[in-house]
Amino acid sequence: MQFKPISCPKCGSLSIKKNGRSKQLKQRYRCKWCLHQFITDYSYQGWRPEVRRQIVPMTLNGSGIRDISRVLSVSINTVLKTIRQQADKTSEPLVPARVTELQVDEFWSFVGNKANQRWLWYGFDPARKKIICSQAGRRTDETCEKLLVKLAGCQVLRYCTDELESYEKFLPQTHHWIGKALTQDIERQNLNFRTHLKRLQRKTICFSKSDKMHDAVLRLYIQHSNMEPLL
């Protein structure tokens, strides 16, 4: 009979000792190095790393919070906590030094109820097929200006937007092209957002309950869509 050595799930140390039993009468262990306490056979699926790793991919492929909770047999709090933790580790996209063409647009969503609108403004580089920068907020000049501040260190040869007045106020006329025919790539990206994120779909009962969770999911989606096509 072969015995599998027990290692600490936190630091990987093999210096382990028994540390009593849990309420379910399961053997509990403690690491002598980091003092982390654990058991090897958890009943709750949310403790399993292989289960938690599925939460973000499911979120970015059309599953809502309660969908994930039902399918993976984990609590809603575990789903929310995992998404927030992954979003906190995610940084904003790196803005390149030079962009030949940048398509800029904004699309509508809401948090809590339709009166609390939450717009995502972002710039899309059709040559790189990447989102260069983004800014969540209201559909106001202030939010537009915040987005363009993020592009301060980038030389953009041509901005392509729709006819929204905010763009005309802040973009230089010599580098600004207006028209729906020039924003087809970013309009297609808008469709990707609404297809892959259930909370952005128009005819669904799934919607964000807080600005923080709403922005966290968008930040994760932008990172993954910039890295590679979603599976």
For the segment 60-90, what is each residue's pLDDT rounded down to a tens digit? 999 999 999 999 999 999 999 999 999 999 9
- In the prediction, which pLDDT does 2 show? 54
Specify the higher pLDDT residue, 185 or 26.
185
19 pLDDT exceeds 70?
A: yes
Which distant-in-sequence residues (6+ apart) come within 8 Å of 148 by Cβ?
170, 171
Which residue has tokens 């207006």? 178
- In the prediction, which pLDDT does 100 show? 96
227 pLDDT exceeds 90?
A: no
pLDDT, mean of residues 24-36: 89
210 pLDDT band, cuts 50/70/90, is very high
Take residue 78 and report the two structure tokens written for it.
Answer: 């575990």
46 pLDDT band, cuts 50/70/90, is confident
- In the prediction, which pLDDT does 29 show? 93
- In the prediction, which pLDDT does 12 show? 86
pLDDT, mean of residues 163-177: 94
CA gap 191, 200 in Å, rounded? 10
Going 188 to 94 to 120 to 125, the CA torsion angle's sign is: negative
Which residue has tokens 């909770």? 69
CA gap 9, 178 in Å, rounded? 56
133 pLDDT exceeds 50?
A: yes
1 pLDDT exceeds 50?
A: no
pLDDT, mean of residues 125-142: 95
